[in-house]
């Protein structure tokens, strides 16, 4: 365990087993559809790679760079699209991947943007969902794990750009914040 981690919330083995289940559900639901995966950078990179290797369907994989935390431990409430162009999703079914469903603002904003770009359907998949009351986007179509309202890092999630490479999801010590 990394010295800045107070506790491991979800270990690597449990994550990998849950990805097997999620991949099965995604494969069943997207069978025979023109699938485009849109993963949100940078947090969903590890989740995306590990999940999609388990889905034996033809798919186009795209990335979209958005920001909502802006270096803080809580969402700023503002979703910024950092790419100049958006993936071509017109007439396609989209699987939108993100690391965590927190306030719901990011998924809500990206879904609307993809629908404006002509996606015929957008389904959402998150590794983590905080068990909190949300004002906007309520629930993902596929969720790996429900967690409490704690600030977590690892397995793609970061604090000020660090800790994404940890193979588990953990809670930082207060001294590291």
Per DSSP, what are the bridge partners of residue 97? 39, 125
Choice among 20, 98, 102, 131 that is catalytic: 102
Q: Are strands 80-81 and 60-67 parallel, antiparallel or unpaired?
A: antiparallel
- Is residue 102 annotated as part of the catalytic site, yes or no? yes
Residue 69 CA: distances (Å) to CA of 11, 113, 150, 153, 168: 24, 19, 14, 13, 21
**Which one, of 168, 165, 157, 167, lies nearest residue 73 by Cα?**
157
Identify whether the C-beta of residue 151 lies closer than 8 Å to the C-beta of residue 128: no
Question: What H or E segment, with its residue span, contains residue 97?
Answer: strand 93-101
92 DSSP 8-state letter: -
d(CA 17, CA 52): 14
Identify whether the C-beta of residue 131 lies closer than 8 Å to the C-beta of residue 149: yes
Tell me the three state secondary structure of residue 27: helix
Active-site positions read 102
């Amino acid at each position: 365990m990394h010295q800045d981690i107070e506790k491991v919330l979800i270990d690597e083995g449990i994550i990998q087993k849950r990805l097997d289940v999620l991949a099965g559900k995604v494969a069943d639901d997207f069978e025979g559809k023109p699938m485009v995966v849109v993963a949100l950078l940078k947090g969903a990179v590890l989740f995306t790679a590990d999940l999609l290797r388990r889905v034996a369907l033809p798919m186009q994989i795209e990335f979209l760079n958005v920001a909502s935390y802006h270096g803080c431990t809580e969402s700023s409430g503002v979703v910024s699209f950092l790419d100049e162009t958006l993936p071509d999703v017109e007439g396609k079914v989209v699987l939108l991947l993100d690391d965590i469903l927190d306030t719901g603002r990011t998924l809500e904003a990206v879904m609307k943007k993809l629908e404006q770009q002509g996606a015929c359907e957008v389904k959402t998949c998150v590794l983590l969902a905080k068990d909190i009351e949300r004002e906007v986007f309520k629930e993902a179509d596929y969720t790996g794990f429900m967690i409490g309202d704690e600030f977590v890092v690892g397995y793609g999630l970061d604090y000020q750009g660090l800790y994404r490479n940890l193979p588990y999801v953990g809670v930082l010590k207060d001294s590291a914040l």
